Amino acid sequence: MAIVKTERHADMPPPVTQTGVIGWMRENLFSSPLNIILTLVSIYVAWAAISSIVSYAFINANFAGETRADCTGSGACWVFIKARFGQIMYGFYPVEERWRVDVGVILAAIGLFLILSDVVKEKKWPAAYMFVFVPIACFFLFSGGYFGLETVETSQWGGLFLTLVLASVSIFVALPLGIVLALGRRSTMPVVRMLCVGFIELIRGVPLITVLFMASVMLPLFLPEGVNFDKLLRALVGMSLFSAAYMAEVVRGGLQAIGKGQTEAASSLGLGYWQSMGLIVLPQALKISIPSIVNTFIGLFKDTTLVLIIGLLDLLSIVKAGTTDKEWVGMATEGYVFVAAVFWVFCFSMSRYSVWLENKLHTGHKR
Amino acid sequence: MKIASFIAVAATATLMATAATAGTLDDVKAKGFIQCGVTTGLAGFAAPDNAGKWVGFDVDICRAMAAAIFADPEKVKYTPTTAKERFTALQSGEIDVLARNTTWTFSRDVNLGFEFAGVNYYDGQGFMVKKSLGVKSALELSGARVCVQSGTTTELNLADYFTANGMKYDSVVFDSADEVREAYLKDTCDVYTTDQSGLYAQRSVIANPEEHVVLPEVISKEPLGPLVRHGDNQWGDITRWTLNAMINAEEYNITSANVDDLKANSKDPNIQRILGVSGDLGQQMGLSNDWAYNIVKMVGNYGESFARNLGEGTALNIARGLNAQWNKGGILYAPPLR
């Protein structure tokens, strides 16, 4: 019988309407009348938003020029940012000394890359470089006064540079101090425990703005006239202690998630307190707290803008001050948009790094 | 102003603890610059320019003092201060003089222990309306919706003024000056009220400034001026007479352009005294006799500073008004230099 097919028909591809872009769209965007309506409305909203943003920020924007008079378009006038870019980045740091900031940032960036990436497996030397050499080098580079470098007072620091200094110093101090506080809070020694609990609860009980305000306004009143701590130093101490208290609670959360069996197993192996903490408990605890730690860092990074109230001109406040220059009145929107973009870039990178780190350290605990 | 009274208590406590120190001038001369407290940015009064140099009407006071003391207006270091911390900064000696559009009031002068060196800008609360409303006087504003910033004395002055004149109003309250401006532009309210210098600054930001008018009525007194700590009269005198020299120079038409000529040729004894050709006014204050010459030469007189930072031709476009000389319809009246 010739009509009976003996061999198997070759597999046909599924119909075009079921696969690829079209299939996906039929499946996800146009599967029912309601979905069709929702899709069309969403497309319209997205189009309206994106097109107005693009025309504001690019098509109708001004890029060329030097002064306010060059702001002729109906969109953003990036001339403002361009004309004051140096100031926004470095504050009042003398122009001829700005290379020092660049060098410091590059040194720190190299260190960060070595520590954070997978390129170097052995972290001992990068860690020594990053946590000992870089801070010392940056201190001398930024403030000067030695090795023939001209002294640059902290009152001249500003802009993104100041924001980065505030954030990185606070982060560097907060993490180790927070771990110590968290361990202290779980300590069996009553005095240590009470001191740690007292510190954490006291600092967490007040807003950061209050801490800064205390450091800036109240502290000088209690000191004899003529004795002045550096304003930036006061802010740094305030911010570091504040974020250390938050960090302590984050780390404590991680510590509590590690079963008691881990410590007991470590003890039965003959490990002392510091060994069991350092080798067994903390690595696990810190790993599961990564999202919260990064969350705290991101919060801290954005909180640096609060130094505005004590008259330090960080990224946000230097742009704000710039908009009050009578040559540039009315540039507030451009300034704020730019600042928002810079903050977004930094916070988003931190967040992506934490995701990457979580995946790298993923050892099956994840549910 | 809860914060003010709080600072007052704290400041008084400090005053008792540390006896008033003398010799700010010596300290300033020794360190080689004046530490001057300014705002963190207020259009026309103090703001960093593109190159990061502080410029403005208040900044000129500091520059004039540096010119008087060092014959170099650049020998000033600026400390940006916020409204909340400015008094502590002065009290603790962090700054030598505060030139930060600060209103001269009894409690600040007496209770906080400061000495106001004079008034460099007579401000006062005013009203701005859209020209299309056709309003010519604030007394026609009965029933208006008024936009005002919350938690300021502005709100209280507004209530007092409308009650005193038997008028009704709805206040629309916002938290920041930018919000108030946007609300006013979006017709959420008919009237925008704040200090007149602030109104001019806000008007300069609006797309079509000429469509808005600041009404002539001023409903509160806000005399702004530089201030120093109590207890150092010499330093207070230098601050006071630096300002007075600038005002006097304008009165006698001494400008940065003609000052050299006047110094060499003028026969007017007033001008000779001001410029240090005769007399020893500078030495009596511990300065050189050409102190006022240096101020006018390097910074300019009051009118030049006003025109450069606030006046017509700048974005702010503020009329002299109350700040004109006493013989030109204003109330600017500096004691004579003699």
Q: Which amino acid is at A310?
A: I
From the CA of B118, how many Å to the nearest CA of chain A? 25
Same fold: B2-122+222-328 with B125-214? yes
Task: For helices B57-70 and B233-251, give the axis angle rounded to 10 degrees.
Answer: 110
How many residues does this entry show for chain B?
A: 338
Average pLDDT, chain A: 87
pLDDT bin (cut points 50, 70, 90) of residue B216 is: confident
CB contact under 8 A, B21 and A225: yes
Average pLDDT, chain B: 87
pLDDT (tens digit per residue) in A237-293: 889 999 999 999 999 999 999 888 988 999 999 998 889 888 888 988 988 888 888
Domain B2-122+222-328: give its CATH superfamily: Periplasmic binding protein-like II (3.40.190.10)
Taking the CA atoms of A306, A312, A315 and A321 in sequence, report the sign of the dihedral they define: positive
Q: Where are the beta strands (DSSP E) in B216-265?
A: 222-229
Q: What CATH fold (topology level) applies to the domain B125-214? A: D-Maltodextrin-Binding Protein; domain 2 (3.40.190)
- Inform me whether the pLDDT recorded for B150 exceeds 80: no
CB B79 within 8 A of CB B36: yes
Average of per-residue pLDDT across A61-88: 85
pLDDT (tens digit per residue) in A300-309: 999 899 888 8
Share of chain A above pLDDT 70, in %: 97
**Any CB–CB contact under 8 A between B77 and chain A?**
yes
CB contact under 8 A, B52 and A317: no
Taking the C-alpha atoms of residue A83 and residue B136, their distance in angstroms, rounded to an integer, is: 41
CB A137 within 8 A of CB A128: no
pLDDT of residue B20: 44
Can you give the residue ranges of every domain in chain B? 2-122+222-328, 125-214
Taking the C-alpha atoms of residue A310 and residue A308, their distance in angstroms, rounded to an integer, is: 5
Enumerate the β-bridge partners of residue B122.
Answer: B223
- Inform me whether the pLDDT recorded for A41 exceeds 90: yes
If contacts are CB pairs under 8 Å, which of residues 6-45 in chain B contact chain A?
A: 7, 10-11, 13-14, 17-18, 21, 40-44
**Any CB–CB contact under 8 A between B82 and chain A?**
yes
pLDDT bin (cut points 50, 70, 90) of residue B22 is: low
Beta-carbon-side half-sphere exposure of residue A348 (alpha carbons within 13 Å): 6
Q: Which of the two residues, B34 and A24, has the higher pLDDT score?
A: B34
- Inform me whether the pLDDT recorded for B1 exceeds 60: no
**Any CB–CB contact under 8 A between B50 and chain A?**
yes
Q: Which amino acid is at A216?
A: S
Enumerate the β-bridge partners of residue B176.
Answer: none
Taking the C-alpha atoms of residue B80 and residue B54, their distance in angstroms, rounded to an integer, is: 10
**ipTM for this prediction:** 0.79
Residue B10: its chain A contacts at CB < 8 A?
218, 221
Residue B47: its chain A contacts at CB < 8 A?
321-322, 324-326
CA nearest to A230 within chain B: B94
Average of per-residue pLDDT across A205-224: 81
CB B97 within 8 A of CB B227: yes
pLDDT of residue B261: 93
Beta-carbon-side half-sphere exposure of residue B91 (alpha carbons within 13 Å): 31
Taking the C-alpha atoms of residue A321 and residue A337, their distance in angstroms, rounded to an integer, is: 15
pLDDT of residue A246: 92
- Inform me whether the pLDDT recorded for A67 exceeds 90: no
- Inform me whether the pLDDT recorded for B15 exceeds 50: no
**CA distances to B44, B45, B89, B247 from B54, in Å:** 11, 10, 19, 22
Q: Write out the CATH class of domain A158-310+343-360.
A: mainly alpha
pLDDT of residue A195: 94
Residue carrying the six token digits 């309407």: A17
pLDDT of residue B10: 52
pLDDT of residue B55: 93
3-state secondary structure of A365: coil
pLDDT (tens digit per residue) in B98-133: 999 888 988 889 999 999 999 999 999 999 999 998
pLDDT of residue B54: 93
Q: Name the strand (E) or helix (H) holding A179.
A: helix A159-185
Enumerate the β-bridge partners of residue A62.
Answer: A77
A47-75 in b/e burial notation, b at 16+ Cβ within 10 A? eeeeeeeeebeeeebbeebeebebbebeb
Question: For testing the chain A interface, which of B82, B182, B200, B208 should be mutated: the one with the most A CBs within 10 Å?
Answer: B82
Question: For testing the chain A interface, which of B27, B49, B50 should be mutated: the one with the most A CBs within 10 Å?
Answer: B50
pLDDT of residue A227: 65
pLDDT of residue B19: 41
CB contact under 8 A, B79 and A92: no
CB contact under 8 A, B85 and A311: yes
pLDDT bin (cut points 50, 70, 90) of residue B154 is: confident
CB contact under 8 A, B85 and A332: no
pLDDT of residue A251: 93
For the purposes of burial, counting CB atoms within 10 Å of the CB of A364, is it exposed (0-12), middle (13-18) or buried (19 or more)? exposed
**CA distances to A20, A212, A283, A359 from A362, in Å:** 33, 38, 12, 5
pLDDT bin (cut points 50, 70, 90) of residue A365 is: low
From the CA of A142, how many Å to the nearest CA of chain B? 18
Q: How many CB atoms lie within 10 A of CB A272?
A: 10
List the structure tokens of B101.
């559009």
Enumerate the β-bridge partners of residue B194.
Answer: B126
